[in-house]
Amino acid sequence: MDFTIETKDLISILMSVICGGIIGLEREYKHKSAGFRTIVLITLGSTIFTIASRHGLKSDDRIAANIITGIGFIGAGVIFKDQFSVRGLTTAAVIWTSAAIGMTVGIGYHALALLLTVVTMCILLLMNRVEKMVSLLQKQRRLNVTFRTADFEQVKNLEEMLSNKQLIADRLQVSKDQDTLTVVWHISGKKAVLLSLNEVLANMPSIISFK
């Protein structure tokens, strides 16, 4: 029975907590499902398994492969799909990356793990600003319109009007309820044009409601 602890393993454990904590703080600040504690435990757990693999009598890549598989299940648990979109993909990717950083710490590449943590934070923080800048030029929204009658010709007329305003409209769903017709579009275009679309739709007598 061996109770000795190597100094480099203690350093690895400390580094995994630091790296996980840095990424976890950003996730916690944005109120994501995988927050501070979750990310820290993921990096720490990956480091522990990697250290155990390194100290094994027959050290191989089987433990590392199982870490990747296990993290895949955790990542899948934070992904949610509603009727038209998928949420949690970025959080799942952060979990995957955090595990990789933990494994990097576990094999002793502390400087590389710290560098990867910084790169990950740059992606999470700076890319968010880039996305906001792009959204000022090109916005997307989901448009749900209920027509007064079940005449499909008015759907085509509205789509033609959107096209004339240089808006790209992808029809997602069409449903009929008695005499009314409800259509869902995914629309993309300039922000100013999308904002003016509300007034145009409100003045169309063929439309009962839209959102």
Write the pLDDT tens digit of every residue in 192-211: 777 777 777 777 777 777 87
In degrees and rounded to multiples of 5, residue 109 shows phi and psi of -90, 70
User: Is residue 43 in some structural domain?
Assistant: yes
Summarize the confidence of residues 75-85 as an average pLDDT: 70
* The predicted structure's pLDDT at residue 83: 59
Residue 85 pLDDT class (50, 70, 90 cuts): low
- Helix, coil or strand: residue 66: helix
**CATH number of domain containing 184:** 3.30.70
Could you give the number of structural domains in the chain? 2
Where would I find the H helices in 30-109? 36-55, 62-77, 89-106
Quick: pLDDT tens for 120-150: 999 988 877 777 776 666 677 888 888 877 7
Choosing from 135, 158, 178, the residue where a domain stops is 135
Q: How far apart are the first and last CA of the chain?
A: 68
Structural domain of 109: 7-135
* The predicted structure's pLDDT at residue 57: 55
